[in-house]
Structure 1
Amino acid sequence: MKVIFTQDVRGRGKRGQVKEVPDGYAQNYLIKRGLAKVATKGNMNTLKRVEANEKAAYEAEKAEAEKIKAELEKDDTIVNFKSKAGTDSRLFGSISSKKIVEGLEKQYGIKVDKRKLNLPEPIKTLGYTNVHAKLFKGVEATIRVHVTEQD
């Protein structure tokens, strides 16, 4: 019997896969537990539609990430912060990824999730710092952060 897997089944198939399995196994185990559906013409069309929607959503998200990357990597996109600092250019406090994201949104209107920033430790010195952001699978951008001393 041909079935469409609705969930991953170890050793048998992955979600969305169409496969031939023994009739008893399909009826008594897979279909009964909601792990698969019978591969009828209607179910096959539904599967194709769902796959097309998922692909379109993936492409839209990737295009959005590319757009944000282009915006971030413009020469004039520099996130500026003013902070109190000591004599050795060390900040009193630090600039975290949360502050960088807030600064991006406030200064340029660009929304980025703070978990996408690759900032091993907060910025604690004055000057320019490049912060890498993984926006999407295969789409990475560099955010320039400039910290100046507060008067």
Structure 2
Amino acid sequence: MKVVFLKDMKGQGKKGEVKEVSEGYARNFLIPRGVVSPASEGNVKQAEELKKGEQKRKEREKEEAIELGKKLEEITVQIKTKAGEGGRLFGSITSSKIGDELAKLKLKIDKRKLVLDEPIRSLGVTQVPVKLHPEVTAKLKVHVMEE
């Protein structure tokens, strides 16, 4: 039986995909749970339209991520903190502190998008990668200064 997937189902199919599954599996399991619908002409066309809309949305998200990445590469985030001898910090600068400073600059970037392998523990300028989109990564300059 040919069916159109209405939701992603691990190991079976993705949303909008048309696939052949056994009739009993479709009628007894997939259709009652609202995961699929029978593949009629209307349902197939509707699935194709959903795919086109999804594709446009993903392209728009990528373009927005590229623009935001260009803004981030021009900005230097300055963070003041206490430091000891030799430029060692008392404590460390984490992604959440960097995210808070970005929020003060009116840039809403989730701290989980900041790819900081380990916290910053010294004074100076550090390049922090920011993963804005699966295909877009920008470099943010973080300048740590002594109070």
- TM above 0.5, yes or no, is yes
The code of the aligned residue for 2:72 comes to L
Q: Structure 1 unaligned segments of length 5 or more: list them.
A: none
The code of the aligned residue for 1:101 comes to G
Q: Compare 110-119 and 35-44 and name the one that shifted more.
A: 35-44
Q: Which residue of 1 aligns with 2:76?
A: 78
Runs of 4+ in 1 over 2 A off after TM superposition: 5-10, 12-16, 19-35
Q: TM-score, normalised by structure 1?
A: 0.83
Question: How far off its partner does 1:19 sit?
Answer: 2.6
The code of the aligned residue for 1:132 comes to P
Q: When the two structures are aligned, how many residues end up with a matched partner?
A: 146
Work out the CA distance in 2 between the residues paired with 1:51 and 1:60.
14
Structure 1 residues 26-65: aligned runs within 5 Å: 26-65=26-65
Q: Structure 2 unaligned segments of length 5 or more: list them.
A: none
Match of 2:108, SS state, is coil
Q: Which residue of 1 aligns with 2:123?
A: 126
Q: Which residue of 1 aligns with 2:144?
A: 147
Q: TM-score, normalised by structure 2?
A: 0.85
For the 8 Å contact 2:17–2:47, the answer to whether it is kept is no
Q: Which residue of 2 aligns with 1:112?
A: 109
Work out the CA distance in 2 between the residues paired with 1:117 and 1:47.
35
Work out the CA distance in 2 between the residues paired with 1:114 and 1:21.
42
Q: CA RMSD in A?
A: 2.0
Question: How far off its partner does 1:34 sit?
Answer: 2.9
Q: Percent identity?
A: 47
Q: Which residue of 1 aligns with 2:17?
A: 17
Match of 2:92, SS state, is strand
